Amino acid sequence: MTVTEGRAEAASRTDGDVLLRVRDLAVEFASSSGRVHAVNGVSFDLQPHELLGVVGESGCGKSVTSLAILRLLPKPSGRVTDGQVDFDGRDLLRLDDDAMRDLRGREVAMIFQDPMTSLNPVITIGEQLAEVVQAHQKVDRREAERRAVEMLELVGIPNAKRRLRDYPHQFSGGMRQRVMIAMALALGPKLLIADEPTTALDVTIQAQILELIQRVAHETGAAVMLITHDLGVVAGMTQRIQVMYAGRIVETATTAELFAHPRHPYTVGLLRSIPRLDEGGSHELIPIEGLPPDLTRLPKGCPFAPRCAWAIERCLEEDPPLDPVRAGEAEVLAGPQATHRAACWNQPTDEEARAGTPADGRISAVAAAARARATEAAALLAGDR
């Protein structure tokens, strides 16, 4: 099977234009301090060939969601407690182990954060590349090796043939991530999950790797789920973004819409905390005060409320649903026409989003109190160190 055949197959076997359908996914981890509710009812769709960005800070459940989809959660502590994952017409959470194994790498592939540790130090690159092919197809050594060369060339590694015999430590970080990408896309998967693929790399290499993922995904026809904590990374590359916080999706929209009209205070916070070149002039970078909630006991109401400048009474009582920001709008869950949805009772306006704080009359007593608490907690923590 070549790369182009893979694409044709991916296109012909889609389930009503939804490649991946996740519903109410919930994941728990057993820990000494109790159950950690890492993912709490995540639902989303992904279309074939779609480039989706999943954004959030560490511990918000974005990586756990992807590991749960591939059933690679660490055993025995991690467990999917609820939900459904349909991929290409199959229920992944109920697929038998062998079918699941065969699906990994062939239909859904994954790239991890740290290319320095994701390759086995004692096996040659060529052998590790050949392994992908041999795990799914009956091919001889030589054929597997020929394919490995092809893959390395695809991701732009010079002298591919010669480098097959090299060991991972003879490659730079960027080159290793290229190798990981080659491995992931070798069999023309329909979905590529890239978990912080550039976080461990030099800034100068990051753009190259992102561009490579984009190009190779396009050539192989894979949909991409790009997981990152950096909105800057997803800005230029994805078509749609999901923002996650405390194990749930708090806002989702097409990339352009999300950057232009963020409607969740957390998204606003993320946007205000990165430098933007597209707005011209200079603006202050505003950090998000406080810390993410303790996932062993989630507070009542909106999980972001304790850190939120827009918080009102209702936020502390009722958990806001992920609803369309324009009330009454039909919900399109995926694709270029995806509806802009946010889980917030008191959404920031465009002006407020640009300023990064609520308009003067809109700071509630609740938010002021929350702000004070958050600052205090941060000070305490800083004092601890």
Partner 1 sequence: MAQIALPQVIEEPVRGSSLWRDAAARLVRNPAAMVGLFLILAFVFVAVFAPIVAPYSPTEGTILQRFKPPSPTHLLGTDLQGRDILSRILWGARSSLWVAILSVSIGLTLGLVYGSISGFLGGWADFWMMRLVDVMLSLPGLLLTITIVIFLGPGLNTIAFAIAVENVPVFSRLVRSSILALKETDFVLAARSIGARGRRILVSHIMPNALTPVIVQATLALATAIVDAAGLGYLGFGPQDPATPEWGTMLTDTQRYLTSGAAFTALFPGIAIILSVLGFNLLGDGLREALDPRLKR
Interacting residues with partner 1 between 158 and 197 (CB under 8 A): 161-162, 164-167, 169-170, 180, 183-184
Q: Of the two residues 56 and 115, which places its CB atom closer to partner 1 in the complex?
A: 115
Nearest to 243 by CA among 232, 257, 229: 229
Q: Helix 173-185 crosses helix 125-134 at what angle (to 10 degrees)?
A: 20
Q: Of the two residues 196 and 352, which places its CB atom closer to partner 1 in the complex?
A: 196
CB 129 within 8 A of CB 179: yes
C-alpha to C-alpha distance for 322 and 332, rounded to whole angstroms: 13
- Please report which helix (H) or strand (E) contains residue 371, including its range: helix 365-384
Q: Of the two residues 123 and 379, which places its CB atom closer to partner 1 in the complex?
A: 123
Q: Work out whether 123 is an interface residue with partner 1 (CB under 8 A).
A: yes
Q: Of the two residues 142 and 385, which places its CB atom closer to partner 1 in the complex?
A: 142
Interacting residues with partner 1 between 315 and 374 (CB under 8 A): none
Binding-site member from 58, 142, 203, 277 for partner 1 (CB under 8 A): 142
3-class SS at 246? coil
Interacting residues with partner 1 between 259 and 278 (CB under 8 A): none
Closest separation between CB of residue 173 and partner 1, Å? 13
Interacting residues with partner 1 between 12 and 51 (CB under 8 A): none
Q: How far apart are the first and last CA of the chain?
A: 55
181 CB-contact burial (10 Å; exposed 0-12 / middle 13-18 / buried 19+): buried
Nearest to 85 by CA among 45, 118, 117, 137: 45
C-alpha to C-alpha distance for 259 and 248, rounded to whole angstroms: 20
Binding-site member from 145, 196, 251, 289 for partner 1 (CB under 8 A): 145
Interacting residues with partner 1 between 90 and 119 (CB under 8 A): 101-106, 109-110, 112, 114, 117-119
Residues lying near partner 1 in the complex (CB under 8 A) are found at 70, 72, 74-76, 101-106, 109-110, 112, 114, 117-123, 126-127, 131-132, 135-136, 141-142, 145, 161-162, 164-167, 169-170, 180, 183-184
